[in-house]
Amino acid sequence: MNGFSAGEKRKFQLDPRTKLLIAGLTGIIAFASSQTLMVLLLVAVVSVLMFMARIYLTTIKFLTIFAIVFFLEITAQAFANNSLTIMAVTLVCIFQRFVILAMVGVYIAETTPTTALIGAMEKLAMPRQIIIPLAVALRFVPTIREEFGYLRDSMRIRKINTSFTGFILHPIKNIEYLLVPLLIRSYKIADELAASAMVRGIDSPRVKTVLYEIKFRTGDFLTMALFIIAVAGTPTWG
C-alpha cells in the first residue's frame, strides 16, 4: 500500500529522498550564489513546489515576507556607503536566504509523513543518530505550534493582546503568559514524543515495514536534474 489518502494522491508527490536532496541543494545555491536573479529563480521553483502541494496560504505568507526583505535589501544597497549600511545589507541577505530554507523546511514537513521520511533515510543508510532526532523534531514542530495556538486563545479569553503591537506595548506580560508556559510545555512535549518514538521501536535495529510507497518517479528525476543543473551553474551565475 502507498499509505496516501485520496486527496494526497492527487497532489504532486515527490520521493522523500528527493526532498532531502532539494533541501541540501537549496542551501548550497542560496548561500553560494550572490546573484539576485539566481535567488529569485530559486524562490520561484520552491514556491511552485509548495503550490503544487497545495500549501497555498503558507506559501503566500512566505512570499510576502521574502518580498519585504527583498525590498529592504534593494533599499539598503542604494545607501550602502559606510560600514553600518554594508553590515545591514549583509544581515538582510542572510535573513533572505534563511527564508528560502524555511520554505523548503515547511514544504518537507507539510508533505512528508514522519514514517515515510524515516523509511527514506533508512534506505539511504543514514546513521540512527541523525534519523531519530530528526524524526522527533518533525513531530515536535507541528505539536508545539498547536500548543502555541491554544495559549494564544487562552490569552485572548483573558483579553490580553497577543499581536506584535501588544508584545511591544506589554512585553513582560506577554513573556509571562505566553513564552514561559510555552517553554514548559516544550520540555514536556519533547519528553513525550521521545518516549512515544521509543515505544514504537524507533531505536530497534530491525528492518521496519513502511506503509508508504517509496520510489523515484519521473517528477523526482526532473526535479533533481533541475536542482543539480542549478548547483552546477551557480559559479557561472556568481
Convert the pLDDT of each residue in 72-114 to its tens digit.
888 877 776 677 777 877 888 888 889 999 999 889 888 888 7
108 & 142 share domain = no
Structural domain contains residue 206: no
13 & 104 share domain = yes
pTM: 0.73
Whether 53 contacts 11, CB under 8 Å: yes
Chain CA centroid to CA 5, Å: 23
Whether 197 contacts 135, CB under 8 Å: yes
What is the C-alpha to C-alpha distance for residues 97 and 47, in angstroms, rounded to an integer? 14
Structural domain contains residue 182: yes
31 & 88 share domain = yes
Task: Taking residues 187-195, report their average pLDDT.
Answer: 78
10 & 61 share domain = yes
Number of structural domains (the chain) is 2
Structural domain contains residue 54: yes
Any idea which residue has 509523513 for its cell? 113
68 & 141 share domain = no
Range(s) of the domain holding residue 171: 127-199
Structural domain contains residue 119: no
The pLDDT assigned to 208 comes to: 66
H/E stretch holding 116 reads: helix 114-123
